[in-house]
Chains A and B, each alone.
Chain A
């Protein structure tokens, strides 16, 4: 799952190094606009509906966190 997510995100955001930090949101690498789009991509690609309560920095701070979120919802 982690690799699938990495491929999906890298193809859409080639300029962002998603492995560069475990605090992608907290450090500002991922802005709220990018998070909004990542949510759309996960919904379309994996068929998951991300509940609003899960839109917290902890769930998007790293590839591992995003993979865990998607797996939880699948």
Chain B
């Protein structure tokens, strides 16, 4: 079962009915858990359920054990000054680290083990195969690890009820493609479940509908063209490739954010808030800003659990300062030396999280290099613009920066879309074999996306752009809609439902055309 299926719609209807019918928070939590298990069984198989159970139990056990060690900390720390308290906590962490590290090895090891088979191309034993890389592993492995680290750093108390942890780890609106939830926030939502409320329910369903619009009307439509080019790059050139890259960027955004809209919308409908994962990323004016707007929960996870801990590590700081001295000790050396290890570590890991081939490693290094260059040379660029008399606050300049960031994104995407670095190289070098005649001779419409579908996609993307622009201006579109006369509201909704029903791509790839980020 995937989100884009009639089975899922039916499941959702039954889920909502049961959820709102049962009284009390406990029973509602039970319905969510039953929904999680049911959805996952049909979407990921019982083997995947076993993996979720195993990972939840690992996180639960490790956290309870760490919690027991910390029980005496507060008593011992009472009356101590700040330095003594810090030293005491450091000594406690030495003991809890002994539990944390095996916990992390077990959970992340699962992820690494599964990816290692893909990387090496070795065929996994048949019995083992269904347990490797189950649906959503990359997401729930990170959220469970984050939970254990929060307990280790005493940011959150360990959960005493293992079912609560399982409830959060297996939460079906987030399990397919995220967002990566923080346990402490999600469990607060689950402990405050309320009965049916018209406004959040409507807003949630509208968001779900919008997600289906993005996925079925835009992403799957653009896929008709991009899959042809990426699947056989040697047969295409110049503008055919450039257009595929640009459409591919929009396709990825609508595919991924569409799934997130569906998940967040379902959650909103039952009164459970999840973090936003996208914030109009193509309005970003730099690589750093882009990644604060794209896959936000992943960026936050890596910042909180990888780059910041590395940044305060004394050994790494010592090494960075040696590098800084070697480079001359000025502002740029300081910025470079201090950022290099945390940034490149995060980006190598981010690349490997997305995929296991050399192409993903290069992708990660590419973004790491961009981040580093921006952080080191940002003041120099500012000075250059000032000297050239460019007003950095002007619309033209901001538009240039947004376009430049979009190009950065497209180049990054090219490393991985063709399936290998060899495929990337073919795409990249053939892109320069310019063939402007293809823009006029109609041949572009013969590769899977015909003229009619292309114009449908263009109209849909314009609608998406207007919506994203309004969101960028902090307008509450669903709130604005709710304030309109009932006839107008229902007209808009029915038109959107009609658009999804009629213009959604339900062709041969209907169930097989999975959400792109589902594969991680």
Q: Quick check: A40 and B86 within 8 Å, CB to CB?
A: no
Pick the contact of A51 from B312, B337, B338 — CB < 8 Å?
A: B312
Q: In the bound complex, how far is the Cα of B471 from the Cα of A46, in angstroms?
A: 45
Q: In the bound complex, how far is the Cα of B382 from the Cα of A9, in angstroms?
A: 19
Q: Quick check: B288 and A31 within 8 Å, CB to CB?
A: yes
Q: In the bound complex, how far is the Cα of B86 from the Cα of A39, in angstroms?
A: 17
Q: Quick check: A37 and B308 within 8 Å, CB to CB?
A: no
Contact count band on B: 20 to 34
Q: A residues bordering B, Cβ < 8 Å?
A: 11-15, 31-37, 39-41, 43-44, 49-53, 55, 72-73
Q: B residues bordering A, Cβ < 8 Å?
A: 82-83, 86, 89-90, 153-155, 288, 303, 307-309, 311-312, 314, 317, 320-321, 331, 334-335, 337-339, 342-343, 371, 375, 379, 382
A-B contact pairs, 16 of them (CB 8 A): A32-B303, A32-B308, A33-B288, A33-B335, A33-B343, A34-B335, A34-B375, A36-B307, A37-B335, A39-B311, A40-B317, A40-B320, A40-B337, A41-B334, A41-B338, A52-B312
Q: Quick check: A32 and B334 within 8 Å, CB to CB?
A: no
Q: Quick check: B317 and A43 within 8 Å, CB to CB?
A: yes
Pick the contact of A49 from B288, B303, B314 — CB < 8 Å?
A: B314
Q: Quick check: A33 and B339 within 8 Å, CB to CB?
A: yes
Query: Closest B-chain residue to A53, C-beta based?
Result: B153
Query: Closest B-chain residue to A71, C-beta based?
Result: B82
Q: Quick check: A52 and B309 within 8 Å, CB to CB?
A: yes
Q: In the bound complex, how far is the Cα of B334 from the Cα of A11, in angstroms?
A: 11
Instruction: Tell me which residues across on chain A come within 8 A of B334, comparing CB atoms.
Output: 12, 37, 40-41
Given A33-B339, A37-B338, A41-B334, does the pair A55, B308 have CB atoms closer than 8 Å?
A: yes
Q: Quick check: B312 and A39 within 8 Å, CB to CB?
A: yes
- Of A31, A32, A34, A73, most B-chain CB atoms within 10 Å: A32
Instruction: Tell me which residues across on chain A come within 8 A of B382, comparing CB atoms.
Output: 15
Q: In the bound complex, how far is the Cα of B378 from the Cα of A37, in angstroms?
A: 15
A58 nearest CB across to chain B (Å): 14
B126 nearest CB across to chain A (Å): 44
Mostly, the A contact residues are helix
Instruction: Tell me which residues across on chain A come within 8 A of B83, comparing CB atoms.
Output: 72-73
Q: Quick check: A36 and B342 within 8 Å, CB to CB?
A: yes
Nearest 4 A/B pairs, CB to CB = A37-B338, A36-B311, A40-B338, A33-B375
Q: Quick check: B86 and A51 within 8 Å, CB to CB?
A: yes
- Of A14, A41, A52, most B-chain CB atoms within 10 Å: A52
Q: In the bound complex, how far is the Cα of B82 from the Cα of A73, in angstroms?
A: 8
B320 nearest CB across to chain A (Å): 6
Query: Closest B-chain residue to A36, C-beta based?
Result: B311
Instruction: Tell me which residues across on chain A come within 8 A of B155, comparing CB atoms.
Output: 53
A66 nearest CB across to chain B (Å): 15
Q: In the bound complex, how far is the Cα of B83 from the Cα of A52, in angstroms?
A: 14
Known: A15-B379, A72-B83; 4 extra A-B contacts, CB below 8 A, are A31-B375, A32-B308, A39-B312, A73-B86
Given A36-B311, A37-B338, does the pair A44, B317 have CB atoms closer than 8 Å?
A: yes
B221 nearest CB across to chain A (Å): 37
Q: Quick check: B375 and A52 within 8 Å, CB to CB?
A: no
Query: Closest A-chain residue to B86, C-beta based?
Result: A51
Instruction: Tell me which residues across on chain A come within 8 A of B89, comparing CB atoms.
Output: 51, 53
Q: Quick check: A36 and B338 within 8 Å, CB to CB?
A: yes
Instruction: Tell me which residues across on chain B come within 8 A of A73, comparing CB atoms.
Output: 82-83, 86
Instruction: Tell me which residues across on chain B come within 8 A of A36, comparing CB atoms.
Output: 307-308, 311, 338-339, 342
Instruction: Tell me which residues across on chain B come within 8 A of A72, comparing CB atoms.
Output: 82-83
A68 nearest CB across to chain B (Å): 11
A9 nearest CB across to chain B (Å): 11
Q: In the bound complex, how far is the Cα of B287 from the Cα of A33, in angstroms?
A: 13
- Of B155, B312, B321, most A-chain CB atoms within 10 Å: B312
Instruction: Tell me which residues across on chain B come within 8 A of A11, comparing CB atoms.
Output: 331
Instruction: Tell me which residues across on chain A come within 8 A of B82, comparing CB atoms.
Output: 72-73
Q: In the bound complex, how far is the Cα of B335 from the Cα of A37, in angstroms?
A: 6
Instruction: Tell me which residues across on chain B come within 8 A of A43, comparing CB atoms.
Output: 314, 317, 321
